[in-house]
Amino acid sequence: MKIGKNMVVTMTYTLRQGDEQGEVIQKVDEKRPFVQLFGAGTLLPAFEENLDGFEKDDEFGFFLSADQAYGQTNEEAIIELEMKIFEIDGVVDTEMVAEGKMITMQDQHGNPLEGKVLAVKEDSVIMDFNHPLAGEDLYFSGTILDVREATDEEVDHGHIHGPGGHHHH
């Protein structure tokens, strides 16, 4: 069975910065493989394009430029916020609001937004809301462990169900 739209793909992969010699950013092995519904819009389009047509036991390795991956760093996504935004009962948690920490905030529509603290000033915090891999070229390598057709319910919901997937309670 070949990878394509509405197929559930189980794989291992190693993600490196830059190229196949680059620093390892993430490694996913057989113990907790990556299981994903293809064509549901949740994966990078260039990631799916590179794996289109692969089958079980196929090995892969491909390069994605920053533009194909998470885009270039957007200076407008680096924002200075007033310190009082981070106050809880008039106090700022200095362990949470510290340089290099990731903080989940909300945009104006209430959607969660992950940001990295770049600097803490006396009465403000500079946050970077770019994707952590923005501006990075990426190299993926790995093995396809399994390919199956998604169920109608999985296609309707846009994600997989069952082992390795989303469970409804």
Q: What is the CATH number of domain 7-70+133-157?
A: 3.10.50.40
Per-residue model confidence as pLDDT tens digits over 70-80:
999 999 999 99
Per-residue model confidence as pLDDT tens digits over 109-151:
988 999 999 999 999 999 999 999 999 999 999 999 999 999 9
Domain residue spans of the chain: 7-70+133-157, 75-128
Q: Which fold has domain 75-128?
A: Thrombin, subunit H (2.40.10)
Q: What are phi and psi of 100, to 5 degrees?
A: 90, -15
Please tell me the predicted confidence (pLDDT) of residue 41.
87
Q: 147 and 7 in contact (C-beta within 8 Å)?
A: yes
pTM, 2 dp: 0.80
Cα–Cα distance between 59 and 51 in angstroms, integer? 10
Task: Please give the radius of gyration of the chain, using alpha carbons only, rounded to the nearest integer.
Answer: 19
What count of Cα atoms within 13 Å lies in the side-chain half-sphere of residue 125? 24
Looking at every residue in the chain, the average pLDDT score rounds to 92
